[in-house]
Structure 1
């Protein structure tokens, strides 16, 4: 195994373990995508357009619409029309704001626990290295948008 392959394997393994730690210790009862939607809206003063959300969340428009509709049904957000065609504004409700604040606080707590043994310098190095890796992946054509997985598909690309 080459150094590069081993480094990426370690990164993938650490990414999976970090995700599991957030899932195990993080906020519960969020349907797919709604937690991310609430977090992004909370960071952007409670309101964004659908076009802005597509860019930030790396969802396609149909996927975003489905997540927003679920969040509306749950009372977390409200939708309103804007002047641009095929665009709508998504705004946090009071309930959505409360849940987003709890989620962000729990997220910060878990992140603090995971990186407790790292110095500030090591965290800065980690941020710089991961940003460099992200840019390299994007240069190779990885864009971060999810692809639909065909039901029952067992090919390697859909795993």
Structure 2
């Protein structure tokens, strides 16, 4: 949660269990995570699985004790304009990778602000690529240290620069 707060992200959970079940589960989470303060985000009850079904969050390979499909462990990143920017569905038996979720949010926030793209395995502070839609003249006007990767195609769209840093 401190990382989500640092990034200005609001967190909300959806569960196919009852509010009473959520209250008990929150006690377990707080105990396990050694959380003393108030629980940091709301959990929505979806007993009839209406929202989980609409969002494609049911895992047909995992069935609960009543024979119903369990909800997958889903992550949806919605930007401030309410546009879905990322959705990841993990099987019900697989936990989420919060390091990757933070990495994606940092990438989305950076690429929203600057005309850059983040390469595979990028981490905050690593070099980035100038967005291919940026003209050569605009790139030269915006960046001092451009490393153009020579490719067999002869195209020069792979332009590497240090990550822009806010002043």
TM over 0.5: no
Larger radius of gyration: 2
Q: TM-score, normalised by structure 1?
A: 0.27
Asked which structure has the greater RCO (Cα within 8 Å, sep 6+), the reply is 1
Q: TM-score, normalised by structure 2?
A: 0.26
The structure with more helix, counted as a fraction of residues: 1
The structure with more strand, counted as a fraction of residues: 2
